[in-house]
Amino acid sequence: MGKYQKDRAGYKLTLDEINHYLKIAKAIKLTIELQQKLDRIYVTNF
């Protein structure tokens, strides 16, 4: 995400680009949350 932002510094994003960025951010957030849940399950059962 940081590289994406750095590469676009000073560049005006279109609405489609903003929406795409938000989708990526949400997917990363959900992935992290899911991994944390899996980690807790794994530690509890193994």
CB atoms within 10 A of CB 21: 15
Res 9: pLDDT: 87
- pLDDT averaged per 10 residues, the chain (length 46): 83 93 96 96 88
Res 26: pLDDT: 97
- The DSSP symbol for 8 reads T
- 3 and 26 Cβ atoms separated by less than 8 Å: no
- 4 and 28 Cβ atoms separated by less than 8 Å: no
